[in-house]
């Protein structure tokens, strides 16, 4: 399929870790994994948030950051490090994929925030406070109940505005509900849930309640649709490779109903979760957009959820 003229921003993936573990070359097309640079170009993806994998160990987060930067600096990989908003245009002009750095969990950051400040200078632009665990800053949503009742720590309440003052966007995807609401209380800028779905459609603790979705809208943030099967399936099955494209639309429809089309984005979690066959890799992004266009969404609406909404938040939180 020829990529449509709708630019896509992928809000979350774990591709760098996947490439490292499975010895994949980002510049070479592969049948393994969900993302490589040739497939991103085929899909019409202009930029993507590439996560640094979660760890509570400072030396590991430094090592993974070094690896991330090394991959982006390799000319043959065809990536352009997006440090400021104007870098999106530079990446486009160069025919490269814009690469945005995210820490998926702040556990490795020290209490004095020295590592955070260093990382911001190195180009960190998105920060998840926790992964599916508890750290010195807050409590994450477990993949299974029961959930921990604790929210952000006092240090976590300091982390949010400190990161935002450094031009870093806060990602609430992995937070439990108390931590989420604590973030909403202390945030000074829009926040994003890079890869979360509607809990009203799929009752999973990693998905967002309607009240949470409304709160993100009120902060002018976005919710990125997660392609993971266990976060999509209304029946609650953890694994169903035959899920149809209509299930994605159910989640999108619900978020639009609750919070409007300006709140929806894309955050597939490619290379970090198991996905239905209908979206087997990033080249299927256009199929989802076509499905939405064929089923009631305008070109303007699809452009918003494909990338414009997320870019709006980045501009508001970086500059």
Average pLDDT, stretch 197-220?
Answer: 98
What pLDDT shows up at residue 5?
A: 64
The rounded distance, in Å, linking the Cα atoms of 281 and 112 is 40
Q: Is 223 helix (H, G, I), strand (E, B) or coil?
A: strand
Predicted confidence (pLDDT) per residue in 45-103, tens digit? 999 999 998 778 888 999 999 999 999 999 999 999 999 999 999 999 999 999 999 99
The rounded distance, in Å, linking the Cα atoms of 8 and 319 is 21
The rounded distance, in Å, linking the Cα atoms of 111 and 135 is 11
pTM over 0.85: yes
Partners of 103 in the β-ladder: 52, 127
Compute CA distances 143 → 114, 203, 204, whole Å.
Answer: 31, 11, 8
Q: Is residue 3 part of a domain?
A: no
Predicted confidence (pLDDT) per residue in 154-168, tens digit? 999 999 999 999 999
For residues 218-235, one letter each, b for 16 or more C-beta atoms within 10 angstroms of the residue's C-beta and e for the rest, the string is ebbbbbbbbbbbbbbbee
- Whichever domain contains 217, its CATH number is 3.20.20.140
Q: Is residue 1 part of a domain?
A: no
pLDDT at 131 over 50: yes
The rounded distance, in Å, linking the Cα atoms of 48 and 13 is 8
Contact between residue 141 and residue 147 where contact means Cβ atoms under 8 Å apart = yes
What pLDDT shows up at residue 237?
A: 86
For residue 222, the number of C-alpha atoms closer than 13 Å in the C-beta half-sphere is 30
Predicted confidence (pLDDT) per residue in 292-307, tens digit? 999 999 999 999 999 9
What pLDDT shows up at residue 1?
A: 42
The rounded distance, in Å, linking the Cα atoms of 48 and 99 is 5
For residue 280, the number of C-alpha atoms closer than 13 Å in the C-beta half-sphere is 7
The rounded distance, in Å, linking the Cα atoms of 271 and 39 is 13
Partners of 81 in the β-ladder: 99
Computed from CA positions of residues 100, 297, 174, 30, in that sequence, does the dihedral angle turn out positive or negative? negative
Predicted confidence (pLDDT) per residue in 134-188, tens digit? 999 999 998 877 788 899 999 999 999 999 999 999 999 999 999 999 999 999 9
Contact between residue 207 and residue 199 where contact means Cβ atoms under 8 Å apart = yes
What pLDDT shows up at residue 148?
A: 84
Write out the residue range of the structural domain in which residue 138 sits: 8-318
Q: Is residue 2 part of a domain?
A: no
pLDDT at 2 over 60: no
- Picking from 158, 194, 161, the residue whose alpha carbon sits closest to that of residue 175 is 194
Angle of CA points 161, 12, 311, to nearest 5°? 65
Q: Is residue 255 part of a domain?
A: yes
What pLDDT shows up at residue 4?
A: 47
Q: Is residue 165 part of a domain?
A: yes
Q: Is residue 48 part of a domain?
A: yes
pLDDT at 189 over 90: yes
Average pLDDT, stretch 221-236?
Answer: 97
**Cβ neighbour number for residue 149 with a 10 Å cutoff:** 9
Predicted confidence (pLDDT) per residue in 100-115, tens digit? 999 999 999 999 999 9
- Picking from 46, 2, 3, 39, the residue whose alpha carbon sits closest to that of residue 18 is 39
Contact between residue 244 and residue 233 where contact means Cβ atoms under 8 Å apart = no
Number of domains in the chain: 1
The rounded distance, in Å, linking the Cα atoms of 219 and 224 is 15
Compute CA distances 318 → 100, 102, 169, 182, 219, whole Å.
Answer: 12, 13, 7, 22, 15
What pLDDT shows up at residue 56?
A: 80
């Amino acid at each position: 399929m020829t990529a449509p003229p709708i630019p896509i921003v992928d809000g979350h993936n774990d591709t760098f870790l996947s490439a490292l573990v499975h010895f994949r070359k980002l510049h070479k097309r592969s049948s393994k994994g969900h993302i490589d640079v040739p497939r991103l170009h085929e899909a019409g993806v202009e930029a993507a948030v590439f996560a640094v994998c979660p760890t509570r160990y400072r030396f590991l987060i430094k090592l993974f950051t070094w690896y991330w930067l090394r991959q982006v600096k390799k000319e043959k990989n065809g990536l352009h490090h997006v440090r400021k908003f104007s870098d999106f245009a530079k990446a486009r002009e160069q025919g490269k994929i814009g690469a945005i750095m995210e820490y998926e969990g702040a556990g490795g950051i020290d209490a004095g925030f020295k590592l955070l400040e260093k990382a911001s200078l190195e180009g960190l632009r998105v920060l998840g406070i926790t992964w599916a665990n508890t750290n010195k800053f807050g409590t994450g949503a477990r993949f299974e109940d029961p959930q921990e009742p604790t929210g952000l720590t006092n240090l976590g309440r300091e982390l949010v505005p400190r990161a935002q003052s450094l031009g870093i966007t806060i990602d609430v995807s992995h937070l439990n509900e108390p931590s989420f609401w604590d973030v909403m209380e202390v945030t000074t800028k829009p926040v994003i849930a890079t890869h979360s779905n509607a809990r009203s459609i799929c009752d999973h603790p990693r998905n967002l309640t309607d009240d949470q979705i409304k709160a993100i809208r009120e902060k002018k943030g976005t919710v990125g649709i997660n392609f993971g099967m266990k976060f999509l399936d209304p029946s609650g099955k953890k694994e169903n490779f035959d899920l149809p494209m209509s299930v994605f639309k159910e989640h999108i429809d619900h978020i639009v109903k609750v919070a409007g089309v300006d709140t929806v984005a894309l955050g597939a979690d490619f290379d970090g979760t198991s996905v239905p066959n209908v979206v087997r890799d990033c080249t299927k992004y256009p199929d989802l957009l076509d499905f939405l266009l064929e089923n009631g969404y305008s070109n303007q609406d699809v452009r918003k959820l494909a990338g414009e909404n997320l870019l709006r938040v980045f501009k508001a939180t970086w500059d």
